[in-house]
Amino acid sequence: MSSLDLSKLRVLCVEDDEIARLSIVNIIRRRAAEVYMASNGQEGLDVFIEKRPDLVVADLAMPVMDGAEMIASIREHDKHVPIVIVTAFPDQGKNLDGADYIMVKPVHKDLLLELLHACVRKINEKGKA
């Protein structure tokens, strides 16, 4: 399997706040191959199942299905896809199973990019295993 780099990454962004979602997507879109969007956990799960992205960036507090429930459902389909949680409430993510990284809002471009690169490294390490 050839190694993945950021420019080939397919990312799913799940965020109910449109301004936050577009902010995250604008940062990612300039560097990744494809970015899929969803505005709640159920949409996020549906898009995940349909598109099979390489990475998920998601909020926790969302309508219809919250981020924790969505992550648990994603893990039933793919135990290894990296998941980055972006939350305004860092205590929510402390004991969250299934997330690889937690980022506190507001989103900082440099930190988000650092986490994306860490996810790419993780994907590539799993590909070599």
- 57 within 8 A of 33, measured Cβ to Cβ: no
Q: What is the mean pLDDT of the chain?
A: 88
Q: Where are the domains of the chain?
A: 6-121
The pLDDT tens digits of the residues spanning 39-89 come to: 999 999 999 999 999 999 999 889 999 999 999 999 999 999 999 999 887
Cis peptide bond prior to 106, omega within 30° of 0: yes
Distance CA 3, CA 29 (A): 20
For 57-86, give the secondary structure using H, E and C.
EECCCCCCCCHHHHHHHHHHHCCCCCEEEE
Question: Residue holding tokens 């349909």?
Answer: 50
CATH superfamily, with its number, for domain 6-121? Response regulator (3.40.50.2300)
